[in-house]
Copies of this chain bind each other. A is one copy, B any other.
Amino acid sequence: MSFVSKTRESLKAERLLPLPPSASISPPESGLYKIKCKVLGRPLPNDELEHQRLGKPTALAVFASDALSSTAYASEEIIRALVLGGIGVAAFNFVLPITLALVAVLVILMFSYRQTIKAYPSAGGAYVVTKDNLGLLPAQFAGVALLTDYILTVAVSVSAGVAALYSAVPSLQPYRVFIALGFIALITWGNLRGVKESGKIFAAPTYFFLFSIAFMIIVGVIRALGGQLHPDAAVAMPAITKQAGIFLILHAFASGGAAMTGVEAISNGVPAFHPPEWKNARSTLMVMGSCLAFMFIGISWLAHIIKPIPTDDKTVLSSISSAVFGTSPGGHAIFLIIQGATMLILVLAANTAYADFPRLASFHADDAFMPKQLTKRGHRLVFSNGIIALAIASSFLVIIFSADVTHLIPLYAIGVFTSFTLSQSGMAVHHIKEKEDGWKLGLVINSLGALSTGVVTLVIGVMKFMHGAWVIIIFVPIMVYALMRLNKQYEHEHEELTKESREALGSPILLRHVAIVLVGDLDMSVATGIQYARSLRSDGVRAVHIAVDPARADTLREQWMDLHLTRIPLDIVHCPDRRIDRTIIDVVLRETAQSDTEVSVIIPRLHRNLWWHQLIHDHTANLIANALEGIEHVNVTFVPHRISEKT
């Protein structure tokens, strides 16, 4: 229903009543729109925006799937980095210490983000915090780094999910890119339908994964303590006793950093919680962090015991779960269930990025650092353009990297740690500036957070530089430069559009107004155009025919003279090069060459009901309109003439 209200002035003059929906005078909806409603659900009006909130259990599912799911590959990436160091089985001695170091960073981060959530209950992402405390330029860095990481989150998670799938069903391995793209399409569809529905879709798999991994860890610990778990790798691997160097350990640490991505998701999405938003968000954050720490340590500990060698067609997690549950039919069934749960959570982890990327992009766009289209809410009140942009970018990465997690990992995590560092530094500045209750403790926590994440950023950047991190290190500044230029353009436009606009709104009309009607044939559409031109009460109406075919022009001239429309002359303008648009520009510029002239170029346009009727006619009208669009005081008017359908 469209409700029409009026300003005070116009209310005095007349009143338009809101039309009851049943009495709508609008034409029927198009078939395309009906299909859209079928696929995406009924359209949501603006006032339902408030209702799109998440309860804590749903919010945990939506925001935690990214962080939790990274336990599916984080331990594996640590092991891969260590094994590459050529230290043999000794590699497995370092898995647990490195994991614990990363968990320490995680704990610092959790407490840091508690501060952020309280200080920025409305939108506490790295972008807003950095902008508020460090300024717009650092905020662009934080934002772009995070956006890049969201794209990688989708690519990495979906690829890892497909890896879980083909670890269980090896015959699917050749189709991994195709399957990954299918999953991305599915998640995109879910998100275009709206955040609440997607929350529903994703709640079950998150909890399913959480509980099945917890079950695996508990069973594993019991069996290990009972002496029933034996190393996998001891046989296959040479027992080199070379000592691991600090470089190797840092490299493995950098690879494990991927486990931390997604921790910031909740602070970005505080407005999606039920009120009191910040309290609910905080407690959800603590639950999420605890689960993550438990699972990460549990899996690394089991890896330390079982020592599974990572291969191309079997993930470490799948080796652990086969070892824990054995090869009996019952054990194998549980193995398959855990692989299924892993696949689901990983594919759906991409959903966290879908919850945050469009929101963050809309912040950039609100500040005029990204195209304004990203602020538009679509059919279902979500930022559809951002969702589609994310889908395209991540599909591109999946194709380029053939859905291979290990090749994607070096690009990953550096972005998210950059934004951690910037946002924690921002929080530290915030405490110093605002001096709210307990600011000193806050300052300590956030400074520690900034310092530790800064160190991690540095470690990842150095260790992974040659393996692909250089792409991100080059890409982010270039992107920030582009956004700055975009912003300058927007500001320039805004300035040019608004300065003196108040004066301009009262400016007098031009001295002379000429209406030019473009005449193709002597037909009803031209008659409608001439009728409209005369209703303009301009200082002169000209009919102009652009003559590509001289013979046709002669006929037209004869016909026109027979009409005796003495006040409307027909000008035949020859166009031997057949470039109608350039010829019309010429005609029009001759008019505007006289000072203070407003020109209306009137183009009769046929409208047909059926699409194929539109197709069979040329689109010269649009060509002309586009050609003239840059010339000031040359106004293009389409005068419609409707062709009825043949019965």
Query: Residue A104 at the B interface, CB < 8 A?
Result: no
Q: How many copies does the complex hold?
A: 2
Given known A-B contacts A577-B45, A646-B488, A497 and B513 have beta carbons under 8 A apart: no
Confirm or deny: A332 has a beta carbon within 8 angstroms of a beta carbon on chain B.
no
**Minimum CB distance partner of A546 in chain B:** B2
From B19, B576, B590, give the contact of A25 (CB < 8 A): B590
From residue 419 to 444 of chain A, which have CB atoms closer than 8 A to chain B?
none
Q: Which stretch, A161-169, A221-229, A566-574, touches the partner chain B?
A: A566-574
A602 — nearest CB in chain B belongs to which residue?
A: B635
CA distance A504 to B521 in the complex (A): 14
Q: Are A586 and B26 in contact (CB under 8 A)?
A: yes
Residues of B within 8 A of A534 (CB): 509
Residue pair A640, B635 in contact (C-beta under 8 Å): yes
> Is the C-beta of A212 less than 8 angstroms from some C-beta in chain B?
no
Which residue of chain B has the shortest Cβ distance to A587 in the bound complex?
A: B4
Q: Does A575 contact B (CB under 8 A)?
A: yes
Q: Chain B's nearest CB lies how many Å from the CB of A554?
A: 11
Helix, strand, loop or mixed for chain A's interface? Answer: mixed
CB neighbors of B among A494-534 (8 A):
494, 496-502, 504-510, 513, 521-528, 530-532, 534
Flag if B635 contacts A639 (CB, 8 Å): yes
Judge if A585 is at the interface, Cβ distance under 8 Å: yes
A563 and B505 contacting across the interface, CB-CB below 8 Å = yes
Identify the stretch in A73-81, A175-183, A268-276, A368-376 within 8 Å (CB) of chain B at 4 or more residues: A368-376
Q: A632 to chain B: which residues have CB within 8 Å?
A: 528, 640-642
In angstroms, Cα B641 to Cα A496, docked, is 11
Write the chain B residue with the least CB distance to A13.
B569
Whole-angstrom distance between the alpha carbons of A510 and B582 in the complex?
33
Assess whether A46 is interfacial by the CB under 8 Å rule. Answer: yes
Would you call B638 and A25 a contact (CB within 8 A)?
A: no
Residues of B within 8 A of A565 (CB): 505-506
Question: By the criterion CB–CB under 8 Å, are A525 and B497 in contact?
Answer: yes
- CB contact list, A572-596 vs B, under 8 A: 572-579, 582-583, 585-587, 589-590, 593
Least distance between A465 CB and chain B CB atoms (Å): 31
Q: With A497-B523, A501-B523, A505-B527 in contact, is A569–B10 under 8 Å at CB?
A: yes
A372-B618, A377-B578, A574-B4 given as contacts; is B524 within 8 A of A606 (CB)? no
Determine how close the nearest CB of chain B comes to the CB of A612; give it in whole angstroms. 9
A490 to chain B: which residues have CB within 8 Å? 616
Residues of B within 8 A of A501 (CB): 522-524, 526-527
Residue A536 at the chain B interface, CB threshold 8 Å: yes
Interface size on A, residues (CB 8 A): 123
| Distance in angstroms between the alpha carbons of A35 and B566 in the assembled complex | 45
Residues of B within 8 A of A207 (CB): none
| CB of A511, distance to nearest CB on chain B (Å) | 10
A548 within 8 A of B: yes
B-side contacts of A376, CB under 8 Å = 578, 618
- A193-201, A247-255, A472-480, A623-631 - the one binding chain B: A623-631
Given A46-B578, A572-B7, A607-B629, verify A532-B489 contact (CB < 8 Å).
no
Residue of B nearest to A525 (CB): B497
**A625 touching B638 in the complex, CB below 8 Å, given contacts A4-B573, A507-B527:** yes
Indicate if the CB atoms of A586 and B9 lie closer than 8 Å: no
Q: Point out the residues of chain B lying under 8 angstroms from A571, CB to CB.
A: 4-7, 10, 16
B536 x A523 contact (CB < 8 A): no
- A646 CB, min distance to chain B CBs, angstroms: 4
Known contacts A5-B574, A523-B497; A25 and B589 CB within 8 A of each other: yes
Interchain CA distance A528-B633 in the complex, whole Å? 8
A-B contact pairs, 25 of them (CB 8 A): A2-B574, A4-B573, A4-B587, A5-B573, A6-B571, A7-B571, A10-B570, A13-B569, A26-B586, A45-B577, A46-B550, A371-B615, A376-B578, A378-B578, A486-B616, A494-B523, A501-B524, A509-B534, A535-B598, A629-B640, A630-B642, A632-B640, A632-B641, A632-B642, A633-B640
Q: Using A2-B574, A497-B643, A508-B531 as known contacts, list a sample of 4 further A-B pairs with CB atoms less than 8 Å apart, ordered by residue number in A.
A: A10-B542, A26-B582, A489-B646, A631-B642
